[in-house]
C-alpha cells in the first residue's frame, strides 16, 4: 500500500459506511433524472497540488444541475465585478427552497445566486455576442474549471426544457418587477443547458479544488478566475449554497458547499482541497442523502470545519537567541572581547498576517532593551504575502530608524532590501544571503 493510500482509505471507509444508506428519492420533476441509477455512489477529493483521490462511481457522468450555479456566478463576477453583479443579485441567505420566489419586494432582486431566481439572472448577465454566444462562454468556463471539455446531456436538457415552467415563471416574474438590463426570459434556456452540462464526481472535485485554490486549476495550472472572485464565490456557497439548510450545514460541516438535484454535492476546503460526492437519492431539501452524510463525517473525522482551524502555535518562529549563543559554522571560536549582543530571530514557512505578527512579536522579545542590533533569518521561509511583506518591512524599518543595526538573511529576497553596500543611509534594514553575513555586519565584522 502506498503512503498516500491513507487518503483513499479514509474515503473508502466513508463509502463503505454510507453505501447501506438508501433513504431519500430521485428528483422526479425533471423526468429524465428519475432514470438515473439510485445506487450510484462516488467520493472524490483533489488537493491543491492536484493529487486526485477517488472511491466508487467517480467516473460516472451526471448533469451538474445546481452545482453549475457557483461556477457561472464566478464567470459573471469575473466579467462584471462584484458591485455590478450585486446590483441585480443579492448575497443574502434566503432560508428558502431552491425554487422559491425569493425576490426583494421593492426591487425584485433575488436573495442570492444559489437559488434558481438568482441563478437565472446570473446566467442572463453573461454577455451574449455573435462571436461568443452566452452558452459557449458558460460551457467554456465550466470546462476550464474541470480541466477538460465538458458537454451537454441533450436528453436531460430536453426533459427540463419541456417541464421547466416554474423556472420560466420565475424569469417572467423577475422581468415584471425589476429594471434588469438583460432579459431573464431569453436566458432561461441557457440556464437549462448549463444545468444539463455533464460531468463526473472527479470533474466536480477539480472544479471545486479550483475555487479552493484561488481560482487556479490545480490539474492544469489554468487561471480560471482571480483569487478575489474565487473567495467571493466560496463565501456565497458558505452562506447560501445549501438553500434553507445552509445555516445548519455551516454549523455542523463547516465547509462552503453546493448541492444539485441530480445527486452531486461539492464542498471546498479553502487552500486545502476540493471534494465532490455523487449519489442521486435526495432528502427533502434536494440534497444527496449519502453526500450530506459522507461530507459531514469526513469533515468531523479530518477536522475540516472552517472555524476549527487552530493556527499552529510556534510553527513560524523557530529561533529566538543571540548571535553568541549560536554555533559559528566552520569557524573556531575567536578569543576576543565580548561584542555587542546581536539578537537573532529565525522564521520558517509561508508568512501571512498571522505569521508576520508572530515574527514581529519575537523581534521585540529578542531585544529586551529595544536598542540591540538584530538579525531576522528568513532562509527557511517559503513565501511572504503582500500583507506580511508590508508588516515586516514596517517593523524592521522602525527598529533600524531607531538606530539599531537591522539585518535580514533573505537569500530569496522576499523583502527586497538593499545590501550592505547600498547607497541608503543608516537607519535602513539590510539584506544578506546568509545568516552568518548578516550577523557579521551587525557586529561590525562584515562589509558595510
Ligand atoms: N435544474 C434544476 C432547477 O432549476 C436545478 C435545481 C437544483 O439542482 O437544485 O430546477
Tell me how far CA of residue 251 lies from CA of 111, 114, 208, 293, 296, in angstroms: 21, 19, 20, 14, 11
For residue range 247-295, what is the model confidence (pLDDT) as tens digits? Answer: 999 999 999 999 999 999 999 999 999 999 999 999 998 999 999 999 9
Residue range 161-171: mean pLDDT, rounded: 94
Full DSSP string of 109-129: -BS-TTSHHHHHHHHHHS---
Q: Which of 63, 116, 152, 265 to mutate to test the pocket of ligand 1 (most atoms within 8 A of CB)?
A: 116
Residue 335, pLDDT above cutoff 60? no
Strand order in the sheet with 374-384: 317-322, 343-351, 374-384, 406-409, 430-432
* Residues 278, 360 within the same domain: no
Sign for the CA dihedral angle at 59, 60, 63, 66 comes to negative
CA dihedral 220, 200, 70, 176 (to 10 degrees): 130
Average confidence (pLDDT) over 9-18: 95
* Residue to mutate (ligand 1; options 99, 262, 263; most atoms within 8 A of CB): 99
Residue 310 Cα, ligand 1 centroid: separation in angstroms? 37
pLDDT tens-place string over residues 40-64: 999 999 999 999 999 999 999 999 9
Pairing status of strand 151-152 against strand 42-47:
unpaired
Residue 86 has pLDDT above 80, yes or no: yes
* pLDDT score for 337: 47
Whether residues 233 and 338 fall in one domain = no
Residue 448 lies in a domain: no
160 & 291 share domain: yes
Mean pLDDT, the chain, whole residue set = 91
Pick from 160, 241, 259 the residue to mutate for probing ligand 1's pocket: most ligand atoms within 8 Å of its CB.
160
Say if residue 212 is in the same domain as residue 332. Answer: no
CA 324 – ligand 1 centroid, Å: 68
Helix-then-strand count for the chain, H and E: 15, 13
Same domain, 214 and 264: yes
- pLDDT for the residue 417: 95
Per-residue confidence (pLDDT) for residue 1, from 0 to 100: 59
CA of 27 to the centre of ligand 1 (A): 9
**Is 206 found in the same domain as 68?**
yes
Cα of 101 vs its chain's centroid, Å: 30
> Are 93 and 207 within one domain?
yes
183 lies in the same domain as 321: no
Residues 228 and 375 both lie in one domain: no
Residue ranges around ligand 1 (CB below 6 Å): 65-66, 98-99, 116, 160, 167, 195, 260-261, 286
- From the list 46, 8, 42, the residue with the least C-alpha distance to 205 is 46
Residue 44: its pLDDT value, please? 98
Among the candidates 248, 279, 302, a domain finishes at 302
Residue 218 sits in the same domain as residue 331: no
Per the structure, how many domains does the chain have? 2
Q: How far apart are the C-alpha atoms of 104 and 11, rounded to whole Å?
A: 42
Domain containing 46 equals 3-302
Of the three residues 258, 275, 302, the one that is the final residue of a domain is 302
Ligand 1 nearest-atom number relative to CA 243: 9
Residue 329 has pLDDT above 70, yes or no: no
Q: How far, in Å, from the CA of 259 to the mean position of ligand 1?
A: 9
Give distance in angstroms: CA of 115 to centre of ligand 1.
Answer: 9
- The alpha carbon of 84 and the centre of ligand 1 are apart by a number of angstroms equal to 25
| CATH code of residue 227 | 3.40.710.10
**Residue 353, domain member (yes or no):** yes
Q: Is the residue at 425 inside a domain?
A: yes
391 falls within a domain: yes
User: What is the whole-number distance in angstroms between the Cα of residue 168 and the centre of ligand 1?
Assistant: 12
Average pLDDT over residues 79-104: 88
Q: Let me know if residue 48 belongs to a domain.
A: yes
Question: Which ligand 1 atom minimizes the distance to the CA of 261?
Answer: 8
Q: In a 3-state reduction of DSSP, which class is residue 192? A: helix
User: Are 206 and 224 in contact, with CB atoms under 8 Å apart?
Assistant: no
Helix (H, G, I), strand (E, B) or coil at 351: strand
In this structure, is residue 307 part of a structural domain?
no
Domain boundary among 302, 329, 349: 302
Q: Which three cell numbers stand for residue 40?
A: 450510484
Cell of 58: 467517480
Atom 10 of ligand 1: nearest residue by CA position = 99
pLDDT single digits (tens) 205-239: 999 999 999 999 999 999 999 999 999 999 999 99
Atom of ligand 1 nearest to the CA of 260: 8
86 and 14 together in one domain: yes
Strand 430-432 to strand 406-409: parallel, antiparallel, or no bridges (unpaired)? Answer: parallel
Query: Domain of 328: which CATH number?
Result: 3.30.750.24
pLDDT value at residue 21: 96
| pLDDT for residue 410 | 97
CB atoms within 10 A of CB 194: 30
Counting from 1 in the atom list of ligand 1, the atom nearest the Cα of 99 is 10
Section 409-436 average pLDDT: 90
pLDDT of residue 243: 81
Q: Are 276 and 298 in contact (CB under 8 A)?
A: no
Per-residue buried b or exposed e for 386-422, using 16+ beta carbons within 10 Å of the residue's own CB: eebeebbbebbeebbeeebbbbbbbeeebbebeeeee
Can you give the pLDDT at residue 416? 94
Find the Cα–Cα–Cα–Cα dihedral 443, 402, 407, 334, rounded to 10°: 10
pLDDT category of residue 97 using cuts at 50, 70 and 90: confident
The answer to whether position 310 is within a domain reads no
**359 and 432 in one domain?**
yes
- Residue 184 located in a structural domain: yes
Amino acid at each position: 500500500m502506498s503512503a498516500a493510500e491513507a487518503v483513499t482509505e479514509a474515503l473508502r471507509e466513508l463509502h463503505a459506511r454510507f453505501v447501506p444508506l438508501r433513504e431519500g428519492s430521485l428528483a422526479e420533476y425533471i423526468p429524465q433524472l428519475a432514470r438515473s441509477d439510485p445506487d450510484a455512489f462516488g467520493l472524490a477529493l483533489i488537493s491543491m497540488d492536484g493529487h486526485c483521490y477517488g472511491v466508487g462511481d467517480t467516473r460516472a457522468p451526471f448533469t451538474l444541475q445546481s452545482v453549475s450555479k457557483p461556477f457561472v456566478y464566478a464567470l459573471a463576477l469575473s466579467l462584471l465585478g462584484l458591485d455590478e453583479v450585486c446590483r441585480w443579485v443579492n448575497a443574502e441567505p434566503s432560508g428558502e427552497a431552491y425554487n422559491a420566489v425569493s425576490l426583494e419586494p421593492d426591487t425584485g432582486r433575488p436573495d442570492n445566486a444559489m437559488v434558481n431566481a438568482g441563478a437565472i439572472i446570473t446566467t442572463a448577465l453573461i454577455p451574449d455576442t455573435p462571436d461568443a454566444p452566452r452558452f459557449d462562454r458558460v460551457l467554456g468556463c465550466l470546462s476550464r474549471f474541470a480541466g477538460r471539455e465538458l458537454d451537454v446531456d441533450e436528453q436531460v436538457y430536453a426533459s427540463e426544457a419541456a417541464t421547466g415552467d416554474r423556472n420560466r415563471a420565475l424569469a417572467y416574474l423577475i422581468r415584471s418587477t425589476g429594471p434588469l438590463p438583460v432579459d431573464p426570459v431569453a436566458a432561461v434556456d441557457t440556464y437549462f443547458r448549463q444545468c444539463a452540462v455533464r460531468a463526473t464526481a472527479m470533474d466536480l472535485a477539480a472544479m471545486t479544488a479550483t475555487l479552493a485554490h484561488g481560482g487556479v486549476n490545480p490539474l492544469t495550472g489554468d487561471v480560471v478566475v482571480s483569487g478575489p472572485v474565487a473567495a467571493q464565490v466560496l463565501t456565497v456557497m458558505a452562506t447560501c449554497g445549501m438553500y434553507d439548510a445552509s445555516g445548519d450545514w455551516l454549523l455542523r460541516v463547516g465547509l462552503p458547499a453546493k448541492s444539485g438535484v441530480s445527486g452531486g454535492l461539492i464542498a471546498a476546503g479553502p487552500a486545502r482541497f476540493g471534494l465532490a460526492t455523487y449519489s442521486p437519492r435526495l432528502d427533502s431539501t434536494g440534497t444527496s442523502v449519502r453526500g450530506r452524510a459522507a461530507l459531514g463525517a469526513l469533515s468531523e473525522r479530518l477536522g475540516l470545519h472552517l472555524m476549527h482551524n487552530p493556527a499552529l502555535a510556534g510553527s513560524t518562529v523557530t529561533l529566538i537567541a543571540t548571535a553568541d549563543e549560536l554555533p559559528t559554522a566552520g569557524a573556531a571560536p575567536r578569543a576576543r572581547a565580548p561584542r555587542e549582543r546581536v539578537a537573532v530571530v529565525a522564521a520558517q514557512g509561508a508568512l501571512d498576517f498571522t505569521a508576520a505578527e508572530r515574527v514581529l512579536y519575537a523581534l521585540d522579545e529578542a531585544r529586551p532593551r529595544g536598542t540591540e542590533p538584530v538579525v531576522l533569518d528568513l532562509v527557511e521561509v517559503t513565501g511572504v504575502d503582500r500583507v506580511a511583506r508590508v508588516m515586516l518591512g514596517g517593523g524592521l524599518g522602525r527598529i533600524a530608524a531607531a538606530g539599531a543595526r537591522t539585518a535580514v538573511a533573505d537569500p530569496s529576497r522576499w523583502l527586497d532590501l538593499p545590501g550592505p553596500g547600498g547607497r541608503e543611509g543608516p537607519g535602513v534594514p539590510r539584506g544578506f544571503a546568509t545568516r552568518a553575513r548578516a550577523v557579521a555586519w551587525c557586529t561590525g565584522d562584515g562589509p558595510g
